């Protein structure tokens, strides 16, 4: 349902609202109480692509494969025009990548210019784009690999990741490394894009094309970060194979002509967003809350099975199992399915602000939240948990997961980061609640969308007696 019927579930779109209403109705049908849509201010209108088609029409004819960038406008019907490629200036490479750049420049920032450099380039090239379909940037060179990616991480590697005695535990595939200080004189990628968008719009470009820059035709399409369709031209993300072909034709001196027809819709009512919330009432400690959840929204380029319908349905299934098995939790179990996670964890941040506050400025419910469990790591079985809190909190979760070792669950490790950069961050950043993010790895057996068969569904019957998860 969440994928085939309601996907994609882009924040602010009618699809998301319909999916949220379905989830609330389903939780009610399963016997959960007070299932409802809790509104908050998204601050942007909703947006959704209805249809899009693009073609190479000269010097040969072919169909283009692309996705539309979120929160960009429609074309004015079918537009056909000459293609042109422009390459904004880039900054120096980062230190260690072939040039003596200052170490304060990160690899991500090293490719971006200063504001003065970009402004000069935009002024010098503004006459080139009027009435054109504009490819922005050079095509990425994708390395050829003859080694297929592993379908599953090695068990020994996963055990090491969740071994509390391993000093590198919790870092997964190679660690996060040390953050570096950005060079304040250079623009960020978002700032460059905003300036280029304004330049294209002011100078009469018809369509902007970005390179997907991924292998095997893969495309990831996100959003115009202003969320204002009036601040951009129609924009698409073109698969690297098509982008590179057009670039080579242009370099050969060919007159390349393209055609696009894009129909997008803006939904002003989408400024009101919704989290889905429902509860299993507790018994003697009903005023204490154990939360579980995951984000319900997705990006618009696909139906959102991996990210994160699978996580949302697993949490719904956990609640259904507790109800079906007749379990009587002492504490209230509250499930929350978040909106607008993809745009910056916005739904859970709004919920925490309204209900819990922060360690420094707590709300009345602040002291009642015991723990939060989250899943947002794609398909594949659960292999372990990262637990925000002291080592003692991770030890409790590790003991609860121990009965599932024969199913590949390796354990749990603590984390002390309060950075807003992970699925559990909005809740863990408020105080030292045990906030657990269940980690999964791809496996050769994929979960069918809406049917989370890759997680053990007999958790309640296999838990250690006297050690309830709630």
Which sequence spans correspond to the domains of the chain? 14-44+270-462, 60-141+186-255
Q: What pLDDT is recorded for position 421?
A: 54
Q: What pLDDT is recorded for position 154?
A: 83
- Residue 346: DSSP 8-state: H
Strands 331-338 and 285-295: parallel
Which residue is listed with tokens 């947002």?
Answer: 376
Which residue is listed with tokens 């809406």?
Answer: 450
- Which CATH number applies to 14-44+270-462? 3.40.630.10
Strands 235-238 and 272-280: unpaired
Q: Is the pLDDT of residue 348 over 60?
A: yes
18-27, 343-352, 438-447, 449-458: least confident range: 449-458
Chain centre to alpha carbon of residue 165: 31
Query: Residue 308: which of 358, 364, 377 has the closest Cα?
Result: 377
Q: What pLDDT is recorded for position 460?
A: 26
Q: Is the pLDDT of residue 302 over 70?
A: yes
User: Residues with Cβ < 8 Å from 93, sequence gap 6 or more?
Assistant: 99, 101, 110, 111
Query: Which residues on neighbouring strands pair with residue 413, listed in sequence order?
Result: 386
What are the structure tokens assigned to 447, written together?
Answer: 């979960």
Span 120-164, pLDDT tens digits: 999 999 999 999 999 999 999 999 888 887 777 888 888 898 988
Model confidence at 454, pLDDT cuts 50, 70, 90, reads: very low
Q: What pLDDT is recorded for position 97?
A: 37
Q: CA-to-CA distance for 110 and 100, rounded, in angstroms? A: 12
Q: Is the pLDDT of residue 283 over 60?
A: yes
CA of 184: how far to CAs of 96, 218, 419, in Å? Answer: 20, 33, 21
Fold agreement (14-44+270-462, 60-141+186-255)? no
Model confidence at 420, pLDDT cuts 50, 70, 90, reads: low
Q: What pLDDT is recorded for position 459?
A: 27
Calculate mean pLDDT across residues 50-55. Answer: 98
Query: Residue 411: which of 429, 425, 391, 428 has the closest Cα?
Result: 391
Asked whether 445 and 389 are in contact (CB, 8 A), the reply is no
- Residue 447: DSSP 8-state: P
Q: CA-to-CA distance for 257 and 252, rounded, in angstroms? A: 14
Query: Which residues on neighbouring strands pair with residue 385, listed in sequence order?
Result: 412, 438
Please state the pTM of the whole predicted model: 0.86
User: Residues with Cβ < 8 Å from 143, sequence gap 6 or more?
Assistant: none
Query: Residue 436: which of 277, 281, 308, 291 has the closest Cα?
Result: 291
Calculate mean pLDDT across residues 70-91. Answer: 96
Asked whether 372 and 310 are in contact (CB, 8 A), the reply is no
Span 87-106, pLDDT tens digits: 999 877 544 433 333 334 44
Q: CA-to-CA distance for 240 and 262, rounded, in angstroms? A: 20
**What fold is seen in the domain 60-141+186-255?**
Glucose Oxidase; domain 1 (3.50.30)
Calculate mean pLDDT across residues 184-213. Answer: 96
Question: Residue 176: is it exposed, middle or buried by C-beta count within 10 angstroms (0-12/13-18/19+)?
Answer: exposed
CA of 449: how far to CAs of 21, 167, 231, 316, 437, in Å? Answer: 18, 36, 36, 13, 20
Which has more pLDDT, 155 or 309?
309
Q: Is the pLDDT of residue 63 over 50?
A: yes
113-117, 161-165, 189-193, 250-254: least confident range: 161-165
């Amino acid at each position: 349902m969440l994928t085939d019927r309601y996907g994609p579930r882009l924040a602010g779109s009618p699809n998301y609202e319909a999916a949220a209403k379905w989830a609330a109705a389903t939780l009610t049908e399963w016997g959960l109480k007070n299932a409802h849509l809790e509104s908050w201010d998204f601050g942007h209108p909703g947006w959704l692509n209805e249809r899009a088609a693009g073609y190479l029409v000269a010097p040969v004819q072919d169909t283009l494969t692309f996705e539309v960038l979120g929160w960009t406008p429609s074309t004015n019907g079918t537009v056909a025009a000459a293609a042109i490629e422009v390459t904004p200036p880039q900054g120096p490479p980062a230190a260690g990548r072939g040039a003596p750049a200052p170490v304060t420049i990160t690899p991500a920032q090293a490719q971006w210019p200063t504001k003065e450099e970009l402004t000069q380039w935009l002024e010098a090239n503004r006459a080139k784009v009027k009435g054109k379909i504009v490819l922005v940037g050079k095509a990425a060179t994708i390395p050829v690999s003859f080694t297929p990616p592993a379908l599953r991480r090695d068990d020994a590697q996963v055990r090491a990741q969740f071994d509390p005695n391993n000093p590198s535990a919790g870092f997964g595939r190679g660690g996060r490394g040390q953050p570096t200080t950005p060079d304040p004189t250079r623009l960020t990628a978002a700032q460059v894009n905003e300036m280029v968008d304004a330049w294209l719009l002011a100078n009469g470009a018809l369509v902007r094309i970005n390179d997907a820059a991924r292998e095997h035709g893969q495309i990831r399409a996100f959003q115009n970060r202003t969320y204002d369709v009036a601040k951009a031209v129609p924009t698409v993300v073109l698969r690297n194979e098509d982008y590179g072909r057009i670039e080579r034709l242009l370099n050969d001196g060919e007159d390349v002509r393209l055609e696009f027809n894009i129909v997008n819709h803006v939904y002003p009512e989408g400024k009101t967003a919704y989290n889905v919330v429902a509860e299993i009432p507790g018994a003697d400690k009903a005023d204490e809350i154990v939360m579980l959840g995951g984000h319900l929204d997705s990006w618009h380029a696909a139906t959102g099975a991996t990210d994160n319908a699978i996580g949302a349905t697993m949490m719904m299934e956990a609640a259904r199992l507790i109800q079906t098995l007749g379990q009587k939790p002492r504490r209230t179990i509250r499930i929350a399915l978040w909106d607008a996670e993809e745009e910056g964890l916005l739904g859970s941040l709004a919920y925490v602000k309204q209900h819990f506050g922060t360690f420094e400025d707590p709300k009345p419910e602040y002291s009642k939240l015991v723990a939060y469990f989250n899943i947002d790591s794609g398909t594949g079985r659960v292999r372990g948990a990262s637990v925000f809190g002291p080592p003692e909190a991770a030890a409790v979760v590790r003991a609860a997961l121990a009965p599932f070792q024969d199913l590949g669950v390796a354990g749990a490790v603590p984390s002390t980061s309060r950075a807003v950069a992970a699925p559990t961050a909005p809740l863990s950043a408020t105080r030292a609640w045990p906030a657990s993010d269940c980690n999964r790895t791809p496996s050769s057996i994929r979960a069918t969308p809406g049917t989370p068969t890759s997680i053990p569904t007999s958790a309640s019957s296999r838990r250690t007696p006297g050690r309830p998860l709630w």
